[in-house]
Structure 1
Amino acid sequence: MTSHKIFNHDIMVCTDQRLIGNHLYSGRVLGLTEPEDIIQLCPDLKSQWNIITEHYRRIGLSHSTNIIWDVSYKILEDYPQYNVSLFFFGNATSKVGCDEDRFRQIDSDWLNTVKFINSKNNFIQLAQELGVSVPLTFCFENKAAIKDFSKFPYPCYLKTAISVNGVGISRCENQQQLDEVIKTFPDEIPLQIQEEVATLSFLNVQYSVEGSKLQRLAITSQILDGYAHIGNRYPSKHQPWETVEPIAEWITQRGIKEIFAFDVAVVEDATNETRYLAIECNPRFNGASYPTGIAKKLNIPSWSCEMFKTQYRSLEKLDLSDIEFNEKTKTGVVIINWGTVLVGKILILIAGNIQQQHELTAKLKERL
């Protein structure tokens, strides 16, 4: 029998505090819950509650109505009989403000595995040990260890070993630019320098662990606006599970739980042969996890999901009549990240084949 869960998918312990609206992201997990679960939500979302629950009722999406309007982790202590579902099990930024002892008491193996693989340097070193293909990458304990700038491929990416939301990642065209950027980084943090992969095709490869058993969840293609990741599409024609599975199995054996994912680059060479290069592991839920889970609950075989800007600041202003998801046709729009409408953006899943997705997207944009 599956135990009930308490969901807290607030992202503020592992995000850049300067990003507007990130405190509203706790609501996007609502569609993954079941009626018997508990969900912690940011109190700022109260004004949108009745509207999002009516939307989910109309499209046939079950969810919890056991709401705690407080995202404090301390509340988890009041529900020891519930399994815990968090966006990130620990503190992604390793900054003060997250009580690590609380996570250690819940599951120390889970915490230690997340901390280990969340380091981009640890990921690269483990991948090399397990024979997983990765881009040419150089790992350093700190910037003082970076000596010979001529040996690096250009353009390249300078990355902090631990980063969130792309913060701490800089593209460098040449040695001079790399030298200038390095000077802006703190002295004590680990860094890596990685070759730029010549592709605009990237995959999100998701796994889940339930009851210590590793399960393949979904592979989605990233939707890009230039170099910026704005969404995901399922299914993908690429299915390179074997590329990252050695790492997935390794971290599962060491205690990771719930959902985690890999970023994988798709590279086609001059002979039209396809290679897959693992970039990093995100030992947590990610942007693709929420539409993936909701699509599975609604049995949607084909979908895309993107963040859209809107002129409105409330869901009640959105007109989804005749484009809302239909259970019979398996087409239409589903609101995923609903709380962010308060700052003029909204994450929406668009169900249907590619042509239907384009048609629905066009109609949706007219109404935003």
Structure 2
Amino acid sequence: MSAVVNYGDTPSNKYVINHDIMNCTAEGVTGNHLYSGRALGMSEPEDIIQIHPELERLWEDISRHYQRIGLSHSDNVLWDLDLKHLGSHSGYLPSVFYFGPQECRYWDDTRWMETVEFINSKNNFMALAAELGVPVPQTRCFDSVLAITPQVIQETVFPCYLKAAVSVSGVGIYRCADEAEFAEALGRFDPDVPVQVQEEVTTETFLNLQYQVSGNRLARLAASEQILDGFVHQGNRVPARHAPWDVVEPMAAWLQAHGMHGIFAFDVAVVQTDQGLRFPAIECNPRFNGASYPTLIAQKLKIPAWSAVTVTTQYRTLADIDLSGLEFDQQTGSGVILVNWGTVLVGKLIVLLAGTPAIQQSLLLELGKRL
């Protein structure tokens, strides 16, 4: 059975995989048009995968890398990201990064799309959390920036975060230390944009709790700790020191009941209080996320401990990168795996570092010398 999800009572082991992110990504992210390649490692030989045509020149090198480390993948590649393929291959189910209106045009599942669009709003997330009893940071939601009156500002406790209700990759999220920074942040939004004002959660530990809906079954996929640069996601590590599934399970079950398919995840903070640890949920990502790809690769290769991080390189092709002695070895259970490999064309990669924390650090240091 494919590592990718299935959508129905009868499991299918064949998928059309299109994990292009251009319909739902933040502008200005370097190389974001090349991200479709990162789904290759989670694919299986029976799948069809769509990859950006610019990455065809890297195919031989990434295939050899995966062959050497024993990672199965699809060879049925369409060097074309047209979404029409999602519904045009008989017997195949769709696997997409985000199931929105564009994807729904080619795979008709309005219920799935509406649930994704609903929970993708941070304001809707907060309303549903209140209904289901899911703990969250103190948050005030506004239908537009215009609704934030001088009285609202006067009542605001600083520092706080001003967030667009719908944002990706940390774009549209501003930490405001005082009224002056708050006013400046407000000016960066169009007047009709829905926003929220959220208390600052004092912690350095945030979790990513991933779920997977396969057929009619909701399953806990993986708990990982986020590696952050400020509030921008840089990577993940497994195992996590905490896995408070019970905190978000009511919302996960609600999403499944309302038509969610595939992988989705919750961002959860770990906060120490006088009464013990508290786990407020920050948001739901109703889609694959940065942790999903290394998670699925690690599960295929039975890797229990790993981190996935972004690295930069002077090289612009995989052939120039020397991974000899560093590649993942199934005998030792440690080593480097290329996850987001297509972005080498713009000088960056996402790599999975398998092994104990000490081994991960050693691999990262040596890899840095070769990049």
Question: What range is the shorter-chain TM-score in?
Answer: over 0.9
Displacement of 1:101 after TM fit?
A: 3.5
Which residue of structure 1 aligns with residue 215 of structure 2? Answer: 211
In structure 1, C-alpha distance between the alignment counterparts of 2:144 and 2:362, rounded to whole Å? 50
Q: Deviations over 1:143-170 (max 9, x none)?
A: 1211221222211111111111211111
Structure 2 counterparts to residues 294-313 of structure 1, below 5 A: 294-313=297-316
Q: Find the residue that maps to 1:85 and give its secondary structure.
A: strand
Q: Find the residue that maps to 1:249 and give its secondary structure.
A: helix
Displacement of 1:227 after TM fit?
A: 4.3
Q: Find the residue that maps to 2:208 and give its secondary structure.
A: strand
Structure 2 counterparts to residues 283-362 of structure 1, below 5 A: 283-362=286-365
**Residues 200 and 227, structure 1, Cα contact 8 Å, conserved in 2:** no
**Residues 302 and 351, structure 1, Cα contact 8 Å, conserved in 2:** yes
1:276 is the counterpart of 2:279 = yes
Displacement of 1:60 after TM fit?
A: 0.5
Q: Find the residue that maps to 2:44 and give its secondary structure.
A: coil
Which residue of structure 2 aligns with residue 175 of structure 1? Answer: 179
In structure 2, C-alpha distance between the alignment counterparts of 1:18 and 1:143, rounded to whole Å? 24
In structure 1, C-alpha distance between the alignment counterparts of 2:228 and 2:147, rounded to whole Å? 34
Displacement of 1:228 after TM fit?
A: 3.7
* Farther off after superposition, 152-161 or 42-51: 152-161
In structure 2, C-alpha distance between the alignment counterparts of 1:99 and 1:285, rounded to whole Å? 14
In structure 2, C-alpha distance between the alignment counterparts of 1:256 and 1:100, rounded to whole Å? 13
Displacement of 1:348 after TM fit?
A: 0.4
In structure 2, C-alpha distance between the alignment counterparts of 1:118 and 1:325, rounded to whole Å? 36
Q: Deviations over 1:180-208 (max 9, x none)?
A: 32133112221111111111110000000
Which residue of structure 2 aligns with residue 159 of structure 1? Answer: 163
Relative to 1, partners in 2 of residues 1:173 and 1:339: Cα closer, same or farther, differing over 3 Å?
same
Which residue of structure 1 aligns with residue 135 of structure 2? Answer: 133
**Residues 9 and 85, structure 1, Cα contact 8 Å, conserved in 2:** yes
Displacement of 1:270 after TM fit?
A: 4.1
Q: Find the residue that maps to 1:64 and give its secondary structure.
A: coil
Q: Find the residue that maps to 1:159 and give its secondary structure.
A: strand
The AA in structure 2 aligned to 1:165 is S
Structure 2 counterparts to residues 62-81 of structure 1, below 5 A: 62-81=72-91
Which residue of structure 1 aligns with residue 6 of structure 2? Answer: none
* Farther off after superposition, 202-211 or 354-363: 354-363
In structure 1, C-alpha distance between the alignment counterparts of 2:191 and 2:216, rounded to whole Å? 39
Q: Find the residue that maps to 1:26 and give its secondary structure.
A: helix
Displacement of 1:176 after TM fit?
A: 2.6
- 1:234 counterpart (233, 238, 245): 238
**Residues 38 and 66, structure 1, Cα contact 8 Å, conserved in 2:** yes
In structure 2, C-alpha distance between the alignment counterparts of 1:229 and 1:12, rounded to whole Å? 18
Displacement of 1:75 after TM fit?
A: 2.4
- 1:185 counterpart (189, 193, 199): 189
- 1:195 counterpart (195, 199, 205): 199
In structure 2, C-alpha distance between the alignment counterparts of 1:224 and 1:168, rounded to whole Å? 16
**Residues 312 and 318, structure 1, Cα contact 8 Å, conserved in 2:** yes
Q: Find the residue that maps to 1:329 and give its secondary structure.
A: coil
1:40 is the counterpart of 2:57 = no
Q: Find the residue that maps to 1:13 and give its secondary structure.
A: coil
Which residue of structure 1 aligns with residue 3 of structure 2? Answer: none
Displacement of 1:81 after TM fit?
A: 2.6
1:21 is the counterpart of 2:31 = yes
The AA in structure 1 aligned to 2:350 is L
- 1:143 counterpart (139, 142, 145): 145
In structure 1, C-alpha distance between the alignment counterparts of 2:47 and 2:356, rounded to whole Å? 32
Percentage identity across paired residues of the two chains:
52
The AA in structure 1 aligned to 2:79 is W
In structure 2, C-alpha distance between the alignment counterparts of 1:250 and 1:143, rounded to whole Å? 29
Displacement of 1:210 after TM fit?
A: 0.2
**Residues 8 and 85, structure 1, Cα contact 8 Å, conserved in 2:** yes
Contiguous gaps of at least 5 residues in structure 1: 92-97
Q: Kindly report structure 1 stretches of 4+ aligned residues shifted beyond 3 Å.
A: 98-103, 225-228
The AA in structure 1 aligned to 2:259 is G
Q: Find the residue that maps to 1:187 and give its secondary structure.
A: coil
**Residues 264 and 288, structure 2, Cα contact 8 Å, conserved in 1:** yes
**Residues 13 and 46, structure 2, Cα contact 8 Å, conserved in 1:** no
Which residue of structure 2 aligns with residue 95 of structure 1? Answer: none
Residues matched between the structures, number: 359
In structure 2, C-alpha distance between the alignment counterparts of 1:281 and 1:171, rounded to whole Å? 20
Q: Deviations over 1:248-289 (max 9, x none)?
A: 000000110000001111101246x11101000000000000
* Farther off after superposition, 186-195 or 175-184: 175-184
Displacement of 1:102 after TM fit?
A: 3.4
Which residue of structure 1 aligns with residue 7 of structure 2? Answer: none
